[in-house]
Amino acid sequence: MFNHYLLFVSLLICFISVGFNATSLNQANAAEKNDYATVIMYHRFGESRYPSTNVTIEQFESHLEFIRQGNYTVMPLIKIIEALKSGGEINDKTVAITIDDAYLSVYKEAWPRLQEYGYPFTIFIATDPVDNNLKNYMDWDQIRELQEGGVTIGSQTKSHPHMHRLSPIKIEQEIAISNKRFLEETGQYPMLFAYPYGEYSLDVVKAVKDAGIYCSIRSKFWCFIC
């Protein structure tokens, strides 16, 4: 019911399982062991000019209420990853909420409503739009406010490129420069990394690991590379 409902309102719903590879593709076994969770990914809120990545405020409020009424457990994404990496089990009604990109509507529309429900979330940010003060993006003060409010800040590189098309040097620069900006502005390196557009290559995976990032996430199928 929960999955059908959210798919109906055009959200991306995916099941995640740590170690998703050739040796662990048996989804039935995964379900029996409760080593999975549901991840709900958003981008924009109440921005009707961008229908492919937008959710209306009314829809978003109905999602939050549905989660509450259904007694789902909303956990920070990193806590779910840690639990699954350690071989632990989680509630089979566990949900993580993630948001891509530092759009201003996240700060103005989504965050107050998520605070009202007490739901944690993770936001993945590319640093260039923030540094360049692009219209309808958050600024660093607002991002720090999210961080101080318990929001997990993850990286989505410097300029949100198609990483698999870049040279190894450019890949490293995208990650290193964004990490430097996160450290300067938030006081810490991001522990989570989301591949822009869900795309990656072996060079990209290696660069992310070499940068010391705890876990990277491919959103197309929500598999973790830790």
In the prediction, which pLDDT does 16 show? 37
CATH architecture for residues 2-225: Alpha-Beta Barrel (3.20)
Given a cut of 80, is residue 83 above it in pLDDT?
yes
Of 39, 34, 17, 191, nearest to 121 by C-alpha is: 39
Pairwise CA distance, residues 188 & 24, whole Å: 33
More confident residue, 3 or 205: 205
Longest dimension (CA), the chain: 49
Of 141, 64, 129, 79, nearest to 100 by C-alpha is: 129
In the prediction, which pLDDT does 224 show? 60
- pLDDT tens, position by position, 215-224: 988 765 455 6
In the prediction, which pLDDT does 17 show? 34
CA dihedral 175, 24, 43, 146 (to 10 degrees): -60
pTM of the model: 0.83
Q: Which residues does residue 137 pair with via DSSP β-bridges, in sequence order?
A: 103
Confidence bin at 33 (pLDDT 50/70/90):
low
Q: Percent of the chain scored above 90 by pLDDT? A: 69
In the prediction, which pLDDT does 115 show? 98
The DSSP-derived string for 101-112 is: S-BHHIIIIIHH
Given a cut of 60, is residue 161 above it in pLDDT?
yes
